[in-house]
Structure 1
């Protein structure tokens, strides 16, 4: 049960002082049975005139910051102390009726899962469908967890990971055609592929770290993206196609959403002279300290500092 110290700094720089509109910040990890925030601070410079917290439709923690000062630099500095208790793959327990594919979600679950089953991208030539069907056994009954694990491993094995700082995501068909992309491209490809097979899937934004010195995780140094698939009996199960892993070992959830555009870590507006924007940099650092036992009964409020 490791304890983690997480630093996430995002810096926007401008050629001239600019005015800042409302900014939406999603960097606080989600509280759950497998991850618990022990301490947190969020420092924003210049100091906002107001900050309020809310939970969005998916239960993600969102800070809304408004500003009354102009500046040439805008910095969001989030520091988190977290207890992480990741589930092991062998603890994925699937209901008997869903252990083999194909199956249909229960009538109780289906109304709440429908929007997460709907496809988000056009596939007129059924390229995603065809690629997804390659993981379905010819005999007609395919082990559900094995099929999803094989798809996760295939993306890791057959595609080339390419870091990309620019905003935006390739379409799943672009990723499939180019055979390369970022973690968010991989996540959207897998989401569309499993939805093509009738699974409910969601996009996850968060952080990735290497649990031990012997385990290397791709995608560190910035935010990370992966997939959750709903499996009856275990609920939402993590699949990280960038690293080819199943389960949340080394993964810290921050935002869960039906579509990638609902899980942007920081978004907002600015106003100033055209061409004022210079750069945006993101730095994420996570240190693992498995030996320190923290007092999990103490809750610390989130201070906002200049």
Structure 2
């Protein structure tokens, strides 16, 4: 049987591909050694116009095959390959892969297997088909049959046609013989495993950095240039390209890969929630404030006499009581059916900070931002702040709305201790999909000039080399493309991907680590993951700010990190929803496990404690203790 290869990258990539099959089997006299030929399909620059390059008889020593190693146009997010197709002579029209243009995009297919001789009778194309085969292969006939069905259904891509429907079509084709198939519409890579698994298909998802690349088997080799080592990709192959563990597809399974992730699985083995579905902490609501449209009040009778040219004194009409009036808009509280007896949650926070110095500090200035936010979703029930040294205190609200304390100390000290105790009540919020108006669910977002002016501080990405920002923008755009430019699904995908693909590694970064360095190394801590998400959001024209606070991990296993330290996450401003918190360290939306304290453009604007030593000091050590626990109401 033929060898198949499918690649789905998160960003445009030009892999180095070398063919080995025909050369390595040239000396063998077996029938298998006589199989030759190869073909590749891809989409240059990740456009919807596809290209194919194939030679039905040549092998690894073919000049065109050698050109694949350094052809700079061989750059795409999708690749589909077919190798060692047949021992019999093949014409160009019968060699794979095949390409057809339909609905403003190129479609490419490759197939390994053989259908029964009556496949044409069982898969009729109709009297006037829109697509007809040029050659005589079963693969091209199946291709035209599928495209005709999509055209007849009035659909223009896989998403419109429906994944379940496509899986059912391929299972019907599989009834006619063996079917390992790869198919792409320029956006999604569809891979179907023959139900009898006559030839297994394996897949692997590879994250940066690719220590085991180059990959290869007896048929081909695959490598990435050093500047592309930060790519994430899913690879499908009928023969694994490395000795590490690969996932073997089940019989009759259909997988869909999009921009370096598994997007859909017919068997639901892969958790789509990891990349698509909104990951929120399930919450009950105290009640919704609904706008109920009522009938408009009846018009008042016209008080102007007919045919009167001059104004007359108005006739006073007795006014009905307000309570009896019909109101066009009516706000009311309705109890949610899912509301619990206690719809809010209490959290207690202890934050202790101790600075110790070998030599006395004689003059210093400090700024503290430790008081939790008070607003409609978070209520500060109790707050107690104690400082071990005396000084001149000034309380104020900074430009970001943070409750701040400025302390000027002129007396010597060798220890500066701060103890903050808080008890907050966290109220329930609607789910994210209910808060974003349908009309503003798609990107790109467009802001009015005054909105952009107000949000300018949260729209400017950090000052990085243009090449770094370009790489980060490409990474961000891969999420938009994978989620068909849905704002909610794109942001949820970003949040979950950072949680799943990036390694939480304390000590691997510093406060000066840039978002690009985090992206390149795929490791960091909460502040790094927040900075990466903020940078990508701003590059996508989504206002984003840095939030410092706390998280309680006792409530849910979804938040396993950061309960014993202050925590950081990103808040994005979404049309119609306002500021929405995304916690990429834990892969969740900010909910009733999070306590919000301070925010700003970056860490420096929101750091809990900061200061300047004007005289003295030296040999500083810092000790921080944070405890977040469920609290109780006073009743």
> In which range does the TM-score fall when normalised by the shorter chain?
0.7 to 0.9
Where relative contact order (Cα < 8 A, 6+ residues apart) is larger, the structure is: 1
Residues 1:215 and 1:95: Cα distance change in structure 2 (over 3 Å) = closer
Counterpart residue number, 1:299? none
Match for residue 406 of structure 2? 64
Question: Compared with structure 1, are the counterparts of its residues 138 and 84 closer, same or farther at alpha carbon in structure 2 (3 Å cutoff)?
Answer: closer
> Is the Cα–Cα contact under 8 Å of residues 50 and 67 in structure 1 kept in the other structure?
yes
Map 1:188-267 → 2, pairs under 5 A: 188-210=531-553, 212=555, 214-267=557-610
Aligned partners of 1:196 and 1:172: how far apart in 2? 12
Q: C-alpha separation between the residues in 1 aligned to 2:388 and 2:507? A: 26
- Partner of residue 488 from structure 2, selected from 112, 131, 145: 145
Structure-1 residue corresponding to 2:530: 187
Following TM superposition, the consecutive aligned residue runs of length 4 or more in structure 1 with deviations greater than 6 angstroms are none
User: Which aligned pairs between 1:70-89 and structure 2 lie closer than 5 A?
Assistant: 70-89=412-431
- Match of 1:127? 471
- Cα shift at 1:107: 4.9
Displacement of 1:10: 0.5
The DSSP-based 3-state class of the residue aligned with 1:136 is helix
Q: Which runs of 5+ in 2 are unaligned?
A: 1-343
Distance change >3 Å, CA 166–CA 44, structure 1 → 2? farther
Q: Which has the larger radius of gyration?
A: 2
Look up the match of 1:294. 634
User: Which SS does the other structure have where 1:14 is aligned?
Assistant: strand
Matches within 5 A, 1:46-61: 46=389, 48-61=390-403
Asked whether the equivalents of residues 206 and 225 of structure 1 are also in contact (C-alpha less than 8 Å), the reply is yes
Name the structure with the higher strand share: 1
TM superposition shift of 1:181? 0.7
* Alignment correspondent of 1:93: 435
TM-score by structure 2 length? Answer: 0.44
Contact 2:558 2:588 in 1 (8 A): no
Q: 1:176 aligns with which of 514, 519, 541?
A: 519
Q: Is the 8 A contact 1:87 1:247 kept in 2?
A: no
Per-residue CA deviation, residues 262-294 of structure 1 (Å, 9 max, x unaligned), is 1111111225557x32310111101103xx333
Q: Identify the residue that residue 280 of structure 1 maps to in structure 2.
A: 622
- Does the CA-based 8 Å contact 1:24-1:63 persist in structure 2? yes
Distance 1:203 1:14 in 2: 30
- Report how far residue 167 of structure 1 moved: 6.0
Q: Provide Cα deviations, 1:86-124, integer angstroms capped at 9, x if missing partner.
A: 435356421233111223134553331222111123141
Aligned residues between the structures: 290
With over 3 angstroms needed to count, the CA separation of the structure-2 counterparts of 1:103 and 1:91, relative to structure 1, is closer
1:65–1:166 Cα change, 3 Å: farther
161-170 vs 56-65, greater mean Cα deviation: 161-170
Shift in CA distance, 42/15, structure 1 to aligned 2, threshold 3 Å: same
Aligned-pair RMSD on alpha carbons?
Answer: 2.2
C-alpha contact 1:172 1:189 (8 A) present in aligned 2: yes
CA gap 1:88/1:127 in 2 versus in 1, 3 angstroms: same
**Which residue pairs with 2:387 in the alignment?**
44
Which range is displaced more, 213-222 or 143-152? 213-222
TM-score, scaled relative to structure 1: 0.88
Query: Which residues in structure 2 correspond to 1:145-164 (within 5 Å)?
Result: 145-164=488-507
**How many angstroms apart in 2 are the aligned matches of 1:127 and 1:166?**
20
Deviation at 1:26, TM superposition (A): 0.4
Maintained 8 Å contact 2:362/2:616: no
The 2-side partners of 1:89 and 1:164 are apart by: 35
3-state secondary structure, aligned to 1:135 = helix
Maintained 8 Å contact 1:26/1:62:
yes
Deviations 1:138-170 (A, max 9, x none): 69x421110000000010111111224986241
